[in-house]
């Protein structure tokens, strides 16, 4: 009987402490995959108006940098500990058909407050489109232009 009582008290005590160690849930629920794994981090300010952030894909354990994203005239917090979560991305009009562009909506990962949108272009957009499963980008392999006069 004493053993059962001790077991009951220990289990009650440990279950009451389990709530103390839990993490605080984010202010906003995470968006659906693959957006839940996309974030902007390591933002740096250049001059008064240009902000450069790294677009990352992955979890807290493993992150892959897709490339840098620059914005003009935005006030993003800088530092390695501040992140922005990507909530959605939409294709933007392309100047060159081969290169994709995306406009991604972002919010503060800690605060949950909307932070506007960023334009993803260049190599970061190509890597992002592969994550989205764009078959044109997955199949694309660079080949030299056979009509090019460079090197003649």
Residue 56 has pLDDT above 90, yes or no: yes
Six token digits for residue 32: 């659906």
Share above pLDDT 70 across residues of the chain, in percent, rounded to a whole number: 76
Question: Where in the chain are the domains?
Answer: 35-134
Distances (CA, A) of 138 to 14, 62, 86, 132: 50, 22, 22, 10
Mean pLDDT of 115-127: 91
pLDDT in tens, 57-68: 998 899 999 999
CA atoms of 37 and 85, how far apart (whole Å): 8
Residue 118 has pLDDT above 80, yes or no: yes
Residue 4 has pLDDT above 50, yes or no: no
pLDDT of residue 84: 92
Of residues 138 and 58, more confidence is placed in 58
Q: How many helices (H) and strands (E) does the chain have?
A: 3, 6
Of residues 111 and 3, more confidence is placed in 111
Of residues 12 and 82, more confidence is placed in 82
Exposure string over 42-63, b if 16+ CB within 10 A, otherwise e: bbeeeeeeebebbbbbeeeeee
The pTM score is 0.71
């Amino acid at each position: 009987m004493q053993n059962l009582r001790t077991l009951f008290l220990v289990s009650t005590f440990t279950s009451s402490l389990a709530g103390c160690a839990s993490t605080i849930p984010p202010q906003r629920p995470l968006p659906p995959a693959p957006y839940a794994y996309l974030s902007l981090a390591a933002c740096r300010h250049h001059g008064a108006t240009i902000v450069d952030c790294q677009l990352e894909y992955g979890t807290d354990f493993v992150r892959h940098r897709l490339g840098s994203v620059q914005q003009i005239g935005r006030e993003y917090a800088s530092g390695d500990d501040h992140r922005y979560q990507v909530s959605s991305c939409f294709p933007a009009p392309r100047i060159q058909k081969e290169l994709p562009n995306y406009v991604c909506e972002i919010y503060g990962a800690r605060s949950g407050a909307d932070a506007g949108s960023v334009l993803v272009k260049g190599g970061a957009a190509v890597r992002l489109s592969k994550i989205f499963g764009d078959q044109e980008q997955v199949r694309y392999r660079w080949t030299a232009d056979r009509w090019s006069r460079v090197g003649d």
